[in-house]
Amino acid sequence: MQSEIQNIYSNIENLLVRLVPEKWESIYLYASVMKRRRGEMYFYYFPKKILKVNPVNCYQVPDKFGIDEHSYNQSLEKLYRLIQSLNVIMVPKWTNITISIENGMFKIEYNYNEIEQSKYSDEERRIVWGYRHLHIPIEKMNLKEKALIETYNDEARIKPSVYTEKIVITKDVVSSENQEVNNQY
């Protein structure tokens, strides 16, 4: 089973890299897999530039780069199916996942909270996720979003932990480092 998981990790990484049509600094992906309804997935990347730039949303790529939207969306769907297959074989079952590729590291954060019963909507979770992972400054948020971040940060201290696995994928070697970290969702 471990080799099957490693194969899925590698396929996710390769597909993510192929979906970004320009040089980039980092990629951040969020996905959820739910029992009662379809989950969601989105990712952003930071283009490689001299000056710091805003992240690019994956759903903006076809328009921005003149890429066929249908084939790009098929690749996004394939990426989501890979993530779903990872959820199927993992024990215990996670509900949402954050994947990042940065500084040569492929990192996955698994979260086990019951988001279907969460008091936060999908959009509210997206705002919090963007604040935490994309480092969207709170100063750029409206009053409602700022209040959400403050409330969420207060509540996050009492959540259970998240299992994080860092994977370095090279040509021939896959190594991993497991660790427990505080819940971030």
Q: What is the 3-state secondary structure (H, E, C) of 30-41?
A: EEECCCCCCCCE
Residues sharing a CB contact under 8 Å with residue 44, sequence separation 6 or more, in sequence order: 27, 28, 55, 56, 57, 58, 130, 134
Position 116 pLDDT exceeds 50: yes
pLDDT (0 to 100) of residue 117: 80
Q: Are 100 and 133 in contact (CB under 8 A)?
A: yes
pLDDT (0 to 100) of residue 155: 67
Percent share of the chain, pLDDT over 90: 53
Average pLDDT, integer, range 92-100: 91
In this structure, whether the domain defined by 2-117+161-181 belongs to CATH 3.30.500.20 is answered with: yes
In degrees and rounded to multiples of 5, residue 157 shows phi and psi of: -65, -25
Most confidently predicted of 73-77, 119-123, 124-128, 175-179: 73-77
Q: Are 31 and 12 in contact (CB under 8 A)?
A: no
